[in-house]
Amino acid sequence: MSNMNFRKFKKAVITIEIQSLIPEKFVNLLWKNSVEIKNIRKISMTIMVMEVNLKDYKTIKCIAKRTRTKVKIVDRKGISFFILMLRKRIAFIVGTILFISMLFIMSTFIWKIDIHCEGGVNVTPYEIRQKLKGYGVTLGINKSQVDIFNIEENLIKDIDNIMWVKARLEGSKLIIKAQERQSPPEIIKDDEPCDLVAKKDGEIQRVYTINGTPVVKKGDIVKKGDVLVKGEQGNEEETEKYFVHSKGKVIAKTFFELTKEVDIYKTNKIRTGKKSKRFYMNFRGKKIYFTKGANKFDKYDKIESNKFIFGKEEFYEVKEKKEKVNVDKVVNAESLKMYNKIVNQFDKSIKAVDKKINHSISGDKCKIRVLVIAEEDISKPIKIDDTIDEDKENEDGSEKDSNQEHNNQNDDNH
């Protein structure tokens, strides 16, 4: 250290400890030689601690030899020492620069393609992925070569069942969301014959009809697709009936069920007092840690703080202690959430009339079941053109059979 030129380290400060029979004489000589001293403290009769500038270190060593004083550096601070440390770790610095450069270069490419299809019946992620390959968009392509607006336009143009597409770049990932085109519902005109059928399972409560003949009554259990009101009019005594456009409402009880498992024990975390920490640098969403393996705890709380691109993670060791909860309170709170979740999905035509809640305990779990009973109109119109054709075919077939039987009887008589 004595061979170094300390004059260029003007802002570096060191804390030295001197040991001498007459430390005051040593301090006086330092002042006489224009050595700046700060924060001088006397530890004992022969020991003093003080702060001096690193550029005066050679002068201090010379005075220490003349006065037979022992000088020991106990602390150092300043950017100069950081530069000296970097000189000794040039390979580490070069490696860090190369690593950051590689991260930056790699972040300019696409390494993952996420495709989300809403609907997923006629449009699949595989079909979209194949189209992207045809456009030249594959893993490893540079992001500068990807035009997301062209991708959206081409996918809508090339795939008929897509209604809209949203593409975006997020880091090194290309995300594509597609909405499948939905076919419009079948509209039945008022002058077309139709039946009213059940659109879901239920228990019939009330039947109101304007046109058509009801075939169900209160208390009947119906399945989805069962006929509720037939699209025909006429008394039973009349030999001919005519088809009509059924109108009315069929109110039925419908059932909505939701189950959930919850823990009947809660875990309390108690800190033991042991902790560890590690520092990192945030580069384009990725953490580069300066130290590895700082967290040695199996169970811990983690606190993270950030300042600019630098961050700190603190780990506090904890011990877990199980404690049984009040089952009734848990069931009441969770069942209320489940009930609200079911009811919030109802539209204005559905009215909740009752609910049933039960639970069962198995081990550390409690299974909660919520059944909501509602009333709603379960009828929907269905054309009966096909039914009419089938009836006509059956009538024609029966007439042919009767004519054939009549001819056979005549032949037998002859």
> Which residue among 154, 180, 206 closes a domain?
180
Same domain, 81 and 122: no
pLDDT over 80 (residue 397): no
Decide if 66 contacts 86 (C-beta within 8 A): no
Q: Which CATH number covers residue 148? A: 3.10.20.310
Over residues 187-240, the pLDDT tens digits come to 667 778 888 999 999 999 999 988 888 999 999 999 999 999 988 877 655 556
Instruction: Tell me the C-alpha distance between 114 and 111, whole Å.
Output: 10
76 burial class (0-12, 13-18, 19+ CB within 10 angstroms)? Answer: middle
> Who has greater pLDDT, 151 or 396?
151
Average pLDDT value for the chain: 83
> Who has greater pLDDT, 292 or 45?
45
Which residues are 200's β-sheet partners? none
Over residues 296-306, the pLDDT tens digits come to 888 888 888 88
Asked whether residue 116 is domain-assigned, the answer is: yes
Asked whether residue 105 is domain-assigned, the answer is: no
Asked whether residue 160 is domain-assigned, the answer is: yes
Q: Which CATH number covers residue 24? A: 3.30.70.340
Instruction: Tell me the C-alpha distance between 44 and 17, whole Å.
Output: 11
Same domain, 25 and 81: yes
Instruction: Tell me the C-alpha distance between 254 and 205, whole Å.
Output: 10
Asked whether residue 211 is domain-assigned, the answer is: no
Q: Would you give the end-to-end CA distance of the chain in angstroms?
A: 141
Query: What's residue 10's pLDDT?
Result: 59
Q: Tell me the mean pLDDT in the region 299-326.
A: 85
Instruction: Tell me the C-alpha distance between 195 and 231, whole Å.
Output: 5
Nearest to 222 by CA among 198, 246, 206: 198
pLDDT over 80 (residue 183): no
Query: What's residue 218's pLDDT?
Result: 92
Percentage of the chain beyond pLDDT 90 is 33
> Which residue among 85, 103, 132 closes a domain?
85
- pLDDT tier at 390, thresholds 50, 70, 90: very low
Over residues 49-89, the pLDDT tens digits come to 999 988 888 889 999 998 889 999 888 887 777 777 777 77
Of 4-18, 82-96, 245-259, 357-371, the least confident = 4-18
Q: Which domain holds residue 138?
A: 112-180
> Who has greater pLDDT, 384 or 343?
343
Q: Tell me the mean pLDDT in the region 372-394.
A: 73
Instruction: Tell me the C-alpha distance between 57 and 72, whole Å.
Output: 11
Percentage of the chain beyond pLDDT 70 is 84
Q: Is the pTM of the predicted complex or chain greater than 0.75?
A: no
pLDDT over 50 (residue 387): no
Same domain, 20 and 72: yes
Tally of domains within the chain: 4
pLDDT over 90 (residue 340): yes
Structure tokens at 221: 């259990």
Asked whether residue 225 is domain-assigned, the answer is: no
Phi-psi region of 111 (alpha: psi -120 to 50; beta: other; left: phi over 0): alpha
Over residues 133-169, the pLDDT tens digits come to 999 999 889 998 999 999 999 999 998 888 889 999 9
Decide if 248 contacts 268 (C-beta within 8 A): no
pLDDT over 70 (residue 1): no
pLDDT over 70 (residue 8): no
- Residues 6+ away with beta carbon under 8 Å from 296: 276
pLDDT over 50 (residue 413): no
Query: What's residue 2's pLDDT?
Result: 47
> Which residue among 129, 153, 180 closes a domain?
180
Instruction: Tell me the C-alpha distance between 163 and 184, whole Å.
Output: 13
pLDDT over 60 (residue 3): no
Handedness of CA 85, 89, 90, 92 (dihedral sign): negative
pLDDT over 70 (residue 184): no
Same domain, 171 and 126: yes
Over residues 240-280, the pLDDT tens digits come to 678 888 889 999 999 999 999 998 888 888 888 888 888 88
